[in-house]
Structure formats: C-alpha cells, structure tokens
Amino acid sequence: MAEQFDVVVIGAGPAGYHAAIRAAQLGMKVACIDAALGKDGKPALGGTCLRVGCIPSKALLDSSRQYWNLQHLFGEHGISVKDARIDVGAMIARKDKIVKQFTGGIAMLFKANKITPYYGFGQLQPGNVVKVKQHDGSEAELKAANVILAAGSDSIELPFAKFDGENIVDNVGALDFAAVPKRLGVIGAGVIGLELGSVWKRLGAEVTILEALPDFLAAADAEVAKTALKEFKKQGLEIRLGAKVSNAEVKAKGKNKEVHVTYADAEGEKTLVVDKLLVAVGRRAATRGLLAEGTGVKLDQRGMIEVDEHCHTGVDGVWAIGDCVRGPMLAHKGFEEGIAVAELIAGLPGHVNFETIPWVIYTEPEIAWVGKTEQQLKAEGVPYKAGSFPFAAIGRAVAMGEPAGFVKVLAHAETDRVLGMHLVGVGVSELVHEGVLTMEFKGSADDLARICHAHPTLSEAIHDAAMAVDKRAIHKAN
Ligand code: FAD
Ligand code: NAD
C-alpha cells in the first residue's frame, strides 16, 4: 500500500527543501526524498549547494583569502607574520565541519516541520506515485496529490577528460585536495573555474585556466569583465581565452602522475602539463532515472524538465524546480521557485521575478550584477543612461586596502527607471541587493541618488554611481 501525502518532493537541495518546508508551513503532509550521502557515507540533505557547492566553496574561499591577505595585504597595515603556513588538512576539516552543521540543520528543520525524509533514489511513476529505493535496500511507495521534482544538476563530463577523482576532477574533487597542487589546470573560465581556481592560486598553486570562448565572462557587463580579468591577472591567475581543449591524458611521472592537456588557440596546438585538472564546463539536469515510462513529463534535448512560467510540467499535480528546469542554475533561484510552487499548490499567488535574480561570483574582487547589461540594452535598442563610480574614490574601500573595481547603474534614458546594476569590487555580493530592491520597487536612479547612505561605507559607491547617471556625482569629475 502506497503511503499517502499531500506533497512529495524528490530532491532535498535548495529548491526541494524550500518547497518541502513552505508546503509543511502551509499545513500540508509532506515527504522529501534524497539519495545523497555525505563524506562520512551517511545521508546528507541540502543538495549540491550545502554538500559540494555554495557553502564548502565559500568556506575555502574565505580560508584562502585570509592566507592571501596575510601575505599580500597585512604588510601595508604594518602587520608582519613570520613563517606563515597553510595546513590544508585543517582547512578542509573546517570546511567539512561547516558542511555537516548545515546538512544536519536541514534534517532538524524537517523534523521541526514534521516532514518525513526518505533516504534513497526516487522515481516518478504514472499517476503521481513515487517509488523509492532506500539505502537500506528496501522499497517504499508514496502517493501524493502533488509531486515536486527538484533533482538538481551534475557536472558535465568531457568525453576526453573523464573524472577519475584523483587527477581529473570536478568541483567535488577540487573541494577536497589533500595538498596544494603545484600546477592546477582548469577547463572553463566560468563561475566554478574562477572561484575554485582562486582558492588554490591563493594557497600557492600555479593555476592555468583554459576557456573555449574568445570573450571573458561573456554574461557579465563587458567593463566589469575587463576590470575583473585585469585584477585576476595581477594575482597571477593565467587565463587563456579561445582555447579549444581536445584531449587530457594522465601519465606517470616518477611516483606521481600528471595530466597532459592538449588544446589549440589562435597560435596553434599546445600542451599544458599539470598535476591536477579541474573540469568546470557547466552542469546538466540530473534527470537520469527520475521518470518511469508513461509519466507524461517531458525533457528537452539537454535533459531538463519542461515547465511553464509557474514551474508546472503540464501533467496534473507534477511540478519541477531548481537546476533541473530552465533559468540560471543558482541556489537562490531554486529557493524562490520552491516557495512559489508550495504557495501555488496551497492556492496562493506564488511568483518568481526572473528579472531581479542577482548573480554573484565570489572571487577577489567580487563580481555581482542584477538586471540588464549595457550589451543587452544596446542589442534590444533600449535607450539608457549609465553612471559609474570607482571604489578607488571611496574612503572606506581605500582604508580597507581594497580600491579595485566600480559600481555602474543603468537607467532608462526617458523614465530614469533602474534597468541594471553591475558591480566589481570588495563586498559587492552584499551591495548588489540595493540594485535588486530598487528594481523590485521599480525605483529610479534619482530615487537611489536621493537616499541617504552612511559615510564612510562601500555603499556610497552606489549613491555616487546613481548621481553620476545625471552627471552630478560629487566625488568625481562628471
Ligand atoms: P541540487 O542542489 O543539485 O539538489 C538536488 C538533490 O536531489 C541532490 O541532493 C540529489 O542527490 C537529489 N536527487 C537527485 N535526483 C534524485 C532522485 N531521483 N531521488 C532522490 N534524490 C535525488 N549557487 C549559488 O546561488 N551561489 C553559489 O555561491 C554557488 N556556488 C556553487 C559552487 C559550486 C562548486 C557548485 C557546483 C554549485 C554552486 N552553486 C551556487 C549552484 C547551486 O549549488 C545550485 O544552483 C543549487 O544547488 C541547485 O539546487 P537544486 O535544489 O535545484 O539542486
Ligand atoms: P559555467 O557555465 O559558469 O562556465 C563554464 C565555462 O566553461 C564557460 O565559460 C564555457 O564557455 C566554458 N567551456 C565549456 N566547454 C568548454 C571546453 N570544452 N573547453 C573550454 N572551455 C569550455 O559553468 P561552471 O563554472 O561549471 O558552473 C556551473 C554552474 O554552477 C554555473 O553556471 C552557476 O549557475 C553555478 N555556480 C554558481 C556559483 C555562484 O553563484 N557564485 C558558483 C559556482 C557555480
């Protein structure tokens, strides 16, 4: 006999656990199934984000940043430390502790919200039935009026550079190196390549990133990308653009192994020899085995679940959210979809505004944006005004020794409504939310310019950039 629920969620990542908790808050009887195991071999809720994504990468970014600052920034403050060393084991153990705290936190939240967890692999059957192959070998059958598919994503593997967990790795391996690799190669100068490349660079690895496209960070505002590239190069990150990789071969070198990577760029064919190779060329929906025959749920050519703007699959009572559906693969996008779907099921007006989803890349300097880039506005023929302001003229940033970068505000030329905000610099992962709020409230550049910002703070760069839209920034020539 199938156990009956109001809502069954497959996947307890950011999208799935938000949906489960919100549905439970709204009075529904909820089950949530997740197949993942933690490093200790025990079930771990929270998905890619908590286990091998957002949280562990930020833990390592923070550890490595402290080490880098100690060597490169502390001196100018008059602080000197002799014989600074990095204990990679201790750094990884700290990261693992944080991961455990947060994955365990989801289990506690499930308990507090009376959500029934199932640990194993879930498959949707026709008629809103879900079969679960549990880790203890048993099978469970669940039935629900509504099933939410939140299966997330996996790393894309290149056919000529298969992951071996040792020398050729994805994010999972690169978050767990036992020692700093002398030479780290990265395929893909995207978000993961830049964040994890930065971690190991700061700890002393020689890092070379091979990117197929001729442009760096093509999705970001072109000026932001240019400034970031300049800063990354200053830090010693070697980024080779227009590099088409064709092969990666692990070869023995004495007692060790190294990876020979063949690629071609404008100058012809080249070989890069590294100790570890991180492949970070994007992620794909983890929908393999998720759907039994005859469910009626459709996948597109890339394996993503097809949904409408409300995350409905078109099959009665079946929804899909997060990385396994269209839209940016971001944890907070999944959060919002999870909440919206739970609310729609409860008859409330759930909604996600895709126009105001912020992007953040947690490098040094950080990169963040919301809304349209100048390239997009030009291509769409939207008349706009731009105002920008450098952190080098912001007292707080200079006092912190972090003068790199700027804030740019884009506003409609006629209505002054803010259409985008683009930031590169210290702390911009937090600052970007001024742009999100302004856009959500349909505010103008003039609104931002007339809002009092405390002095001295980094957020003054937003204030001055908004004033610069009308050429009235106080702290620079307009
Ligand atoms: P997932 O987090 O992938 O969770 C899906 C869960 O479902 C998994 O636990 C999986 O085991 C389970 N599952 C799948 N199929 C089944 C099944 N059939 N039965 C049972 N269980 C199943 N995003 C940000 O916004 N900010 C960041 O800083 C950031 N950093 C990242 C860093 C790295 C290294 C990586 C890899 C990703 C990062 N992301 C970041 C992206 C973010 O992790 C994802 O967008 C987010 O985790 C997607 O959430 P989700 O719930 O859709 O899927
Ligand atoms: P990505 O899409 O950000 O970058 C992949 C890069 O690899 C692209 O620049 C692409 O042109 C390049 N590429 C693709 N094939 C290639 C090849 N054969 N040779 C050389 N270069 C190649 O993907 P990612 O870095 O793997 O990250 C996956 C997703 O995870 C991101 O899109 C993002 O949604 C999410 N993520 C977000 C954050 C964050 O929000 N801070 C952090 C990490 C990951």
Residue nearest to atom 28 of ligand 1 (CA): 54
pLDDT the model gives residue 365 = 97
Distance 287 CA to ligand 1 centre (A): 12
In a domain, 475, yes or no: no
369 vs 439: CA distance, rounded Å: 12
- % of the chain at pLDDT higher than 70: 100
330 is in an annotated binding site: yes
What confidence tens digit (pLDDT) does each residue in 37-82 have?
A: 999 999 999 999 999 999 999 999 999 999 999 999 999 999 999 8
150 vs 443: CA distance, rounded Å: 34
9 and 149 assigned to the same domain = yes
In a domain, 291, yes or no: yes
What confidence tens digit (pLDDT) does each residue in 225-244 have?
A: 999 999 999 999 999 999 99
Tell whether ligand 1 has an atom less than 6 A from the beta carbon of residue 149: no
Tell whether ligand 2 has an atom less than 6 A from the beta carbon of residue 180: no
Please answer whether residues 273 and 183 qualify as being in contact, where contact means their C-beta atoms are separated by less than 8 angstroms. Answer: yes
Residues identified as active-site: 455
CATH assignment of the domain containing 399: 3.30.390.30
Tell whether ligand 1 has an atom less than 6 A from the beta carbon of residue 46: no
Bond prior to 349 in cis (omega within 30° of 0): no
Residue nearest to atom 15 of ligand 1 (CA): 151
What confidence tens digit (pLDDT) does each residue in 249-258 have?
A: 999 999 999 9
pLDDT the model gives residue 476 = 86
Average pLDDT score over residue span 99-110: 98
Distance 254 CA to ligand 2 centre (A): 33
pLDDT the model gives residue 396 = 98
Please answer whether residues 132 and 118 qualify as being in contact, where contact means their C-beta atoms are separated by less than 8 angstroms. Answer: yes
78 and 220 assigned to the same domain = no
Distance 102 CA to ligand 1 centre (A): 14
Ligand 1 atom nearest residue 321's Cα: 52
The distance between the two most distant Cα atoms of the chain, rounded to a whole number of Å, is 75
The ligand placed nearest to the CA atom of residue 154 is 1
Domain endpoint, select from 253, 281, 309 = 281
pTM: 0.98
220 vs 364: CA distance, rounded Å: 16
Q: Is 347 left (phi over 0), alpha (psi -120 to 50) or beta?
A: left
270 vs 280: CA distance, rounded Å: 20
Three-class SS state of 125:
strand
Domain endpoint, select from 352, 373, 397 = 352
**By 3-state DSSP, what share of the chain in percent is helix, strand and coil, each rounded to 5?**
35, 30, 40
Helix (H) or strand (E) holding 272: strand 268-274
Q: Is the pLDDT of residue 478 over 90?
A: no
Going by pLDDT thresholds of 50, 70 and 90, the confidence category of residue 144 is very high
What confidence tens digit (pLDDT) does each residue in 322-368 have?
A: 999 999 999 999 999 999 999 999 999 999 999 999 999 999 999 99
268-274 β-sheet, strand order: 244-253, 256-265, 268-274
430 half-sphere exposure, CB direction, 13 A CA radius: 6
In a domain, 474, yes or no: no
Query: Dihedral of the CA atoms 142, 155, 64, 188 (nearest 10)?
Result: -160
Mutational test site, ligand 1, from 21, 48, 135, 324, max ligand atoms within 8 Å of CB: 48
**Average pLDDT over the chain, rounded to whole?**
97
275 and 291 assigned to the same domain = no
In a domain, 385, yes or no: yes
Residues 6+ away with beta carbon under 8 Å from 467: 387, 449, 473, 474
236 and 369 assigned to the same domain = no
183 and 227 assigned to the same domain = yes
In a domain, 275, yes or no: yes
pLDDT the model gives residue 248 = 98
Please answer whether residues 431 and 457 qualify as being in contact, where contact means their C-beta atoms are separated by less than 8 angstroms. Answer: no
Show the domain range for 265.
Answer: 168-281
11 and 131 assigned to the same domain = yes
195 is in an annotated binding site: yes
Residue type, 128: N
Mutational test site, ligand 2, from 272, 281, 363, max ligand atoms within 8 Å of CB: 281
Distance 224 CA to ligand 2 centre (A): 17
310 and 416 assigned to the same domain = no
Residues 6+ away with beta carbon under 8 Å from 453: 459, 460, 462, 463
* Structural domain count, the chain: 3
442 is in an annotated binding site: no
389 vs 374: CA distance, rounded Å: 16
419 vs 444: CA distance, rounded Å: 9
45 and 85 assigned to the same domain = yes
Measured CA distances, 233 to 207, 229, 236, 240, 364 (Å):
11, 6, 5, 11, 11
Tell whether ligand 1 has an atom less than 6 A from the beta carbon of residue 210: no
434 vs 454: CA distance, rounded Å: 14
Q: Is the pLDDT of residue 160 over 90?
A: yes
In a domain, 452, yes or no: yes
In a domain, 160, yes or no: no
Distance 281 CA to ligand 2 centre (A): 5
What confidence tens digit (pLDDT) does each residue in 279-310 have?
A: 999 999 999 999 999 999 999 999 999 999 99
Question: What is the DSSP code string of 390-418?
Answer: EGGG-HHHHHTT----EEEEEEETTT-BE
Domain endpoint, select from 281, 306, 334 = 281
Residue type, 54: C
| Tokens 């937090």 sit on residue | 430
Q: Is the pLDDT of residue 477 over 90?
A: no
142 and 197 assigned to the same domain = no
Residue nearest to atom 28 of ligand 2 (CA): 282
Tell whether ligand 2 has an atom less than 6 A from the beta carbon of residue 361: yes
As a three-state string, the secondary structure of 322-359 is: HHHCCCCCCHHHHHHHHHHHHHHHCCCCCCCCHHHCCE
CATH assignment of the domain containing 236: 3.50.50.60
Parallel, antiparallel, or unpaired: how do β-strands 129-134 and 3-10 relate? unpaired
Tell whether ligand 2 has an atom less than 6 A from the beta carbon of residue 86: no
Measured CA distances, 136 to 33, 35, 41, 209, 359 (Å):
14, 12, 13, 42, 40
In a domain, 476, yes or no: no
Q: Is the pLDDT of residue 1 over 90?
A: no
Please answer whether residues 161 and 277 qualify as being in contact, where contact means their C-beta atoms are separated by less than 8 angstroms. Answer: yes
pLDDT the model gives residue 437 = 98
268 and 204 assigned to the same domain = yes
End-to-end CA distance of the chain: 73
65 and 87 assigned to the same domain = yes
120 and 149 assigned to the same domain = yes
Angle formed by the axes of helices 191-202 and 54-72, nearest 10°: 40
